[in-house]
Amino acid sequence: MSQKIKGFIELGFAKLDYLREKRKGIPEIIFGLGKSPSQLKKIISNFQKESNFILISRLDKKKYRVLKGSFPKLKYFEEARIGFLGKSYSKTKKKISIVTAGTSDIPVAEEAAIFLELLGNEVERIYDIGVAGLHRILPFRDKLNNSKVIIVVAGMEAALASFISAMARPPIIGLPTSVGYGSHFEGLASLLGMLNSCSPGIGVVNIDNGIGAGYLAHLIANNE
């Protein structure tokens, strides 16, 4: 049984921050990993009373299929592992570029990309242009410079963030991924590589945190 208490909805196993949209402009994101389908059903049902924008991140296909029975209009973006119910935001006409070093980084990039599109932003996807082939980056320089923000998604040593920052004007959000070999330490090498960049203008989010990168990019691009 749910109950509203001091600005949140008490479910016993969860306290839903239904006022976050008023404070931040974006409602609370439901993190699907670790939650049972029955818990997700209760959370979604209560949020439906408060918002027309319900996003579930890290939602696997099995849970989606269960939830679809209770919420027929629930959309699923498989590569991004995002479930969405409701209405996306109005178009902002703000362009945000998302660049990946490799094809293996695309699932993390898509989490950010789908989130940004649901928030109304125009997303320019530029995938697989890592520093192992620098010539692949150069044709996209004008597109990068015409963006409000650039998200650079990279694993391995994540040198792409430094290179893009050195050649493009917009602020860079570094999104390290857990893509890499053994000494890569499941993304720690990428994270430290981005944090230690000598090129100014880079901010860094946590490993594989596409939602965090998308959230920050939206705030930067639309803060006018």
What pLDDT does 1 receive?
A: 61
Question: Higher pLDDT residue, 206 or 6?
Answer: 206
Which residues contact residue 196 at a Cβ distance below 8 angstroms, ignoring those fewer than 6 apart? none
- Pick the last residue of a domain from 39, 69, 86: 86
Give the CATH number for residue 131: 3.40.50.1970
Question: Higher pLDDT residue, 58 or 92?
Answer: 58
Residues of the domain holding 133 = 95-221
Whether the predicted pLDDT of 171 surpasses 90: yes
Task: Indicate if 165 and 189 belong to the same structural domain.
Answer: yes
Whether the predicted pLDDT of 194 surpasses 90: yes
In this prediction, residue 6 has a pLDDT band, given cuts at 50, 70 and 90, of confident
Token code pair at residue 29: 């994101």
Q: Which residue has the tokens 């932003």?
A: 121
Task: Indicate if 178 and 153 belong to the same structural domain.
Answer: yes
- Pick the last residue of a domain from 38, 56, 86: 86
Whether the predicted pLDDT of 110 surpasses 90: yes
Domain count, the chain: 2
- Picking from 71, 72, 62, 70, the residue whose alpha carbon sits closest to that of residue 32 is 62
What percent of the chain clears pLDDT 70, i.e. is strictly above it?
Answer: 99
Can you give the pTM of this predicted structure? 0.94
How many angstroms separate the CA atoms of 134 and 148, rounded?
23
- Pick the last residue of a domain from 69, 86, 103: 86
What pLDDT does 224 receive?
A: 65
How many angstroms separate the CA atoms of 111 and 2, rounded?
30
Averaged pLDDT, 186-206 = 96
Task: Indicate if 59 and 122 belong to the same structural domain.
Answer: no
Task: Indicate if 64 and 107 belong to the same structural domain.
Answer: no
Averaged pLDDT, 103-125 = 97
Task: Indicate if 40 and 115 belong to the same structural domain.
Answer: no
Task: Indicate if 121 and 57 belong to the same structural domain.
Answer: no
Averaged pLDDT, 138-161 = 95
Task: Indicate if 82 and 120 belong to the same structural domain.
Answer: no
How many angstroms separate the CA atoms of 37 and 62, rounded?
9
Q: What is the pLDDT of residues 45-86, one digit of tens each?
A: 999 999 999 999 999 999 999 999 999 999 999 999 999 999
Averaged pLDDT, 195-217 = 96
Task: Indicate if 162 and 114 belong to the same structural domain.
Answer: yes
In this prediction, residue 126 has a pLDDT band, given cuts at 50, 70 and 90, of very high
